[in-house]
Amino acid sequence: MIDFKDVSKHYDNHTALRKITISVSKGEMVFITGPSGSGKTTLLKLIYLSEKLDEGHITVSERELENLKDSEIPLLRRNIGVVFQDFKLLNNRNVFENIALALRIRGEDDRELKSRVFDALKIVNLRHKADSYPQALSGGEQQRVAIARAIVTEPPIILADEPTGNVDPDTAAGIIKTFKDINARGSTILIASHNRELFRNTGRRVFKLENGNLAGEELG
Ligand SMILES: Nc1ncnc2c1ncn2[C@@H]1O[C@H](COP(=O)(O)OP(=O)(O)OP(=O)(O)O)[C@@H](O)[C@H]1O
Ligand SMILES: [Mg+2]
C-alpha cells in the first residue's frame, strides 16, 4: 500500500533520508523509530506530500507520488489521517469543530457528523472537553484531540508522529490500543516514535532510522 524505493530527501545541504526502501502492506500497523533528527517526521511528510522527495519513488495506494499533479494532492490527503508531531489544531475552533472539520468537508449530514465526532472523542476519553478551545487543554489532551481528528473519518491510511509524546505511560498504552483497534478495522497505520516501550511486545514490524539511513528492521 505504501512503497518507498531508494528514496532520498535533502534539506538545503543536509540529507534527511538516504536511499530508503520500505514496503508497508494494506492492513499493516508498523512503527518507525530512531533518535531525534534521524528522519522519522520527514519520512511521514513525504507520504502526505507536505515535503517532496528528491530521489527515488514512492507509491501510495498505487499512485506514484512523484507523478501526482498538484490538483490530485487533496484526494490523496483525504485518504490519510495525520497526527502531526505539533498537533496543528485550529485555535479559533473548539474541540468538536476541530474534529468535525474533515467530515464537514465531505458533506456529512449533521446527525451522522455529531455521532461520529462524539464516538471519536469517547475513544480518546475527551467527551467532556468537546466545547473547550485547544489553548485551554493540556499538551496530552491536545494530542488526543489530534488523534480523534485523524481517526474520525476512518481513513485507509493513518500517519501518527510521536502520538504519545505528551502523555503518561498508561495513556500511551491506551492510545496504542486505540490504534490497534482501528488497525483491526482495516486502516493501515504508520507510527513514528523514539519510545521503544510503545512497540515492545506488539509483534509489529519496526523500521529503525539512524541519521537518515534505514539501519534495520525488527519485530516489536
Ligand atoms: N524544514 C527543514 N529544513 C532544514 N532541515 C530540516 C527541516 N526539517 C527537518 N530538517 C532536518 O532533517 C533531519 C531529520 O528531521 P526529522 O524532523 O525528520 O527528524 P525526526 O526523526 O522526526 O526527529 P524528532 O525525533 O526530533 O522528531 C534533522 O537533522 C532536521 O534538522
Ligand atoms: Mg519528528
Q: In sequence order, which residues have a C-beta less than 8 Å from that of residue 83 and are 6 or more positions away? A: 143, 146, 147, 149, 150, 158, 159, 160, 161, 163
Mean pLDDT of 6-14: 96
Cβ(193) – ligand 1 distance below 6 Å: no
Report the residue among 8, 10, 11 best suited for mutation to probe ligand 1: largest number of ligand atoms under 8 A from its CB.
Answer: 11
Task: At 29, list the grid cell.
Answer: 500497523
Query: What pLDDT is recorded for position 89?
Result: 98
Query: What pLDDT is recorded for position 179?
Result: 95
Relative to the alpha carbon of 39, which ligand is closest? 1
Residue 216 covered by a domain: yes
In terms of residue numbers, what domain contains 18? 1-79+159-164+188-220
Looking up residue 4, the CATH number of its domain turns out to be: 3.40.50.300
Cβ(33) – ligand 1 distance below 6 Å: no
Residue with the nearest Cα to atom 30 of ligand 1? 37
Query: What pLDDT is recorded for position 163?
Result: 95
Residue 22 covered by a domain: yes
Report the residue among 31, 42, 164 best suited for mutation to probe ligand 1: largest number of ligand atoms under 8 A from its CB.
Answer: 42
Residue 10 covered by a domain: yes
Cβ(11) – ligand 1 distance below 6 Å: yes
pTM of the model: 0.96
Question: In angstroms, what is the span from residue 210 Cα to ligand 2's centroid?
Answer: 13
Report the residue among 8, 10, 12, 14 best suited for mutation to probe ligand 1: largest number of ligand atoms under 8 A from its CB.
Answer: 14
pLDDT band at 66 (very low <50, low <70, confident <90, very high): very high
pLDDT band at 210 (very low <50, low <70, confident <90, very high): very high
Query: What pLDDT is recorded for position 20?
Result: 98
Mean pLDDT of 204-216: 98
Task: At 171, list the grid cell.
Answer: 495513556
Query: What pLDDT is recorded for position 180?
Result: 95
Residue 26 covered by a domain: yes
pLDDT band at 12 (very low <50, low <70, confident <90, very high): very high
Query: What pLDDT is recorded for position 207?
Result: 98
Residue with the nearest Cα to atom 3 of ligand 1? 11
Residue 139 covered by a domain: no
Grid cell 485550529 in the structure block, residue: 90
Residue 198 covered by a domain: yes
* Dist CA 77 CA 42 (whole Å): 16
Residue 153 covered by a domain: no
Q: Which residues are registered as beta bridge partners of 158?
A: 81, 189
Q: Which residues are registered as beta bridge partners of 8?
A: 55
Residue 129 covered by a domain: no
Cβ(42) – ligand 1 distance below 6 Å: yes
Q: pLDDT digits over 128-183, tens only? A: 999 999 999 999 999 999 999 999 999 999 999 999 998 999 989 989 999 999 99
Total count of domains within the chain: 1
Cβ(39) – ligand 1 distance below 6 Å: yes
* Dist CA 190 CA 73 (whole Å): 19
Contact assessment for residue 41 and residue 192, using Cβ atoms and an 8 Å cutoff: yes
Ligand 1 atom with the smallest distance to the CA of 34 is: 21
Relative to the alpha carbon of 16, which ligand is closest? 1
